Chains A and B, each alone.
Chain A
Amino acid sequence: MSAASAPIVDIRHVSKSFGSLKALNNVSMSMSLGEKVVIIGPSGSGKSTLLRSINKLETVDSGTIIVDGFDINAPTTNINSLRMELGMVFQSFNLFPHKTVLENLTLAPIKLKGMSKAEADEIALKLLDKVGIKEKAHAYPAQLSGGQQQRVAIARALAMSPKIMLFDEPTSALDPEMIGEVLDVMVTLAKEGMTMAVVTHEMGFAREVADRVVFMDHGAIIEEGTPEHFFVNPEHDRTKLFLSQIL
């Protein structure tokens, strides 16, 4: 298979239940290198579960997930080394509060990649500069605003130079005036060619950045397509209803 045609993420017939709730119901989706997929849908539709199953923060009940050629549920797959390729950004930032901003970025490269502190610091400072908070390198996360924390969280994920970035509602916990600064960073990242899977309610972002928009409801993918298709003439009634409610 050529590199261009092989999907970097291939989700096949995945199902997952939480008790009696079916969070994912026979979902299949794939992403190719460099692609930006935005997953939208009402809350409880399974979009976060789908995203979190890509790096095995959720273990699926059935189906297979292939990431970069590895079946993530295979016993032979080292999930920890595979996760180094998958950067993840959370709704609640989840920065390490006992570490400075700089240490948040350098902890994993030093401990997991065996990078020297000097090298890790240099990379971290470059990334902090990129997300616009270099001057906060020695502050603790609690001293930052939500928007700043989320930008640090993005930089922390980037410090491992991942192949794919997963964003789980990155702006949902932010005050409205801070959403822009985080989205700007994400748009820049997209323009640089990063492969991204983004769960979000920010339709403007989806329209601007997405190669493909995926709409989920009740644990299933209802519709997917280009933003043009999606926002201009969606096919399904449920998609239309959802869009009419949020736009």
Chain B
Amino acid sequence: MSDTRIIDVGEGAAIPSKSDWGLFNAWTISIIGALAAILYLVIAQPNPYQRLLVYLADGVVITFQVTVMSILCACVIGLITGLGRVSRNKAINLLASTYVEIIRGIPLLVQLFYIYYALGRFLNVHDLTAAIIAMSVCYGAYMGEVFRAGITAIDKGQTEAARSLGFNTKQTMFLVILPQAWRTILPPVGNEFIALLKDTSLVSILAVSDLLRRGREFSSETFLYFETYTMVALIYLVITLILSKGVSIMEARLSHYVRR
């Protein structure tokens, strides 16, 4: 069903669609190209590149941690926000809408600085934790909008059918609406995941030693700017491509009940 694309609002990398599963699609070419390039550089010029790869490994771990933790937290915040946005309780609705409005009105980088330094100053939170919280708060608002769109996209008849059987609003949401909304939500949520992964590079400006920051440290010691950022870009590309593949596999799994 092609209607899964209707609420595709993300700005992340394109998720491979099922139509181009063949060998010569953009995803396969990109991943093989990126891996081959990394392999070639490390073998052909082990002097800077091997050292670089080892040096960047710590950063990859940090980037991975920030991404996974932020995605999990942002999903929880997003679900709560999305439910708040469709709630008939005016106070909850207003609270959720205001949160979304404020977050969407401030650039991510400014939010990162603000939350990071605010947390650091008043709560003395660890650097990595502060970065994860900042990313989650920001992406939670975006995901809230995706969840809201996914929930409202489900036909009103579904709610009516559930309510007429005797389910209350909460049961209707969790037993009938959300399990269906997942399928419509997943592509745009996947886009948010990928966008989030790429935006974690912003935390390098804070004192978090992610992939990009490790690259900056390496290049400022060695002055090998071109070599460093070539490797950094390739690693980001590989991670992003793997994540996007994961999302598309999940998407295929979830669509088992769709009309033939």
What is A's interface to B at a CB cutoff of 8 Å? 55, 57, 80-81, 83-84, 86-88, 90, 92, 94-98, 107-108, 111-112, 140-143, 153, 156-157, 160
Find out whether the CB atom of B165 lies under 8 angstroms from the CB atom of A84.
yes
Query: B45 at the A/B interface (Cβ < 8 Å)?
Result: no
B220 in the interface (beta carbon within 8 A): no
Whether A112 pairs with B165 at a CB distance below 8 angstroms is yes
Q: Given A57-B163, A83-B164, A96-B161, verify A111-B180 contact (CB < 8 Å).
A: no
Give 7 CB contacts A-B under 8 Å. Answer: A88-B165, A94-B155, A94-B160, A95-B161, A96-B158, A98-B183, A112-B171
Interface-located stretch among B59-67, B107-115, B144-152, B252-260: B252-260
B contact residues around A97 at 8 Å (CB)? 180, 257-258
Q: Does B157 contact A (CB under 8 A)?
A: yes
Q: Are A84 and B157 in contact (CB under 8 A)?
A: no
Tell me what chain B mostly uses at the interface: helix, strand, loop, or mixed: helix
- Docked CA distance A184–B160 (Å): 25
Residues of B within 8 A of A (CB): 155, 157-158, 160-168, 171, 175-176, 179-180, 183, 256-260
| Residues of the B chain whose Cβ atoms lie less than 8 Å from the Cβ of A156 | 165
User: Beyond the given A81-B166, A83-B166, A140-B256, could you list 11 further A-B residue pairs with CB under 8 A, ordered by the A residue number?
Assistant: A87-B164, A88-B165, A94-B155, A94-B157, A96-B162, A98-B180, A112-B165, A142-B259, A142-B260, A156-B165, A157-B164
With contacts A84-B165, A108-B165, A112-B166 taken as known, whether A98 is within 8 angstroms of B171 at the C-beta atoms is no
Residues of B contacting A96 with CB < 8 Å? 158, 161-162, 176, 180
Tell whether, in the assembled complex, residue A140 and residue B257 are in contact, meaning their CB atoms are under 8 Å apart.
Answer: yes
A53 to B114: give the CA distance in the assembly, Å.
Answer: 52
* B260/A111 in contact, CB under 8 A: no
Taking a contact as CB atoms under 8 Å apart, the answer to whether B257 and A142 are in contact is: yes
Cα(A86)–Cα(B164), bound, Å: 7
Query: Is A112 a contact of B167 with CB atoms below 8 Å?
Result: yes
Instruction: Give complex CA distance A142, B164 in Å.
Output: 21
Docked complex Cα distance between A94 and B176 (Å): 11
The reply to whether A98 and B166 contact each other, CB–CB distance below 8 Å, is: no
Q: Is the Cβ of B176 less than 8 Å from the Cβ of A111?
A: no
B contact residues around A55 at 8 Å (CB): 164
Interfacial chain B residues near A98, Cβ < 8 Å:
179-180, 183, 257
A143 touches B260 (CB 8 A): yes
Chain B residue at smallest Cβ distance from A109: B165
Question: How far apart are the CA atoms of A9 and B44 in the complex, in Å?
Answer: 85
Whether A80 and B157, one on each chain, are in contact in the complex, defined by CB atoms closer than 8 angstroms, is no
- A80 near B155 with CB under 8 A, answer no
Pick the contact of B163 from A83, A141, A142, A143 — CB < 8 Å? A83
A126–B176 Cα distance when bound, in Å, is 24
Whether the pair B161, A94 counts as a contact (CB closer than 8 A) is: yes
A13 CB, nearest partner CB in chain B, Å: 24
How far apart are the CA atoms of A88 and B162 in the complex, in Å?
A: 10
Query: Chain A residues with Cβ under 8 A from B179's Cβ?
Result: 98
A-B residue pairs, 6 tightest by C-beta: A94-B161, A88-B164, A84-B166, A94-B157, A142-B259, A108-B165
B257 smallest CB distance to A (angstroms): 4
| A56 to B, closest residue via Cβ | B163
Whether A83 and B165, one on each chain, are in contact in the complex, defined by CB atoms closer than 8 angstroms, is: yes
- Point out the residues of chain A lying under 8 angstroms from B256, CB to CB: 140
Closest-CB distance, B236 to chain A (whole angstroms)? 36
Q: Which of B158, B175, B260 is in CB contact (< 8 Å) with A94?
A: B158
In the complex the two chains form, what is the Cα distance from A92 to B155 in whole Å? 10
A28 to B152, CA, bound (A): 35
Among A84, A87, A111, A153, the residue within 8 A (CB) of B175 is: A111
By a CB distance below 8 angstroms, the chain A residues around B157 are 90, 92, 94
In contact, A80 and B160 (Cβ under 8 angstroms):
no
Q: Give CA–CA (A97, B167) in the complex, Å.
A: 17
Q: Could you say which residues of chain A place their CB within 8 Å of the CB of B176?
A: 96
Whether A57 lies near B164 (C-beta < 8 A) is yes
Instruction: Tell me which of A55, A81, A97 has the highest count of chain B C-beta atoms within 10 A of its own C-beta.
Output: A97
Interchain CA distance A55-B176 in the complex, whole Å: 19
A116 to chain B, nearest CB (A): 18
Residues of A within 8 A of B165 (CB): 83-84, 88, 107-108, 112, 156-157, 160
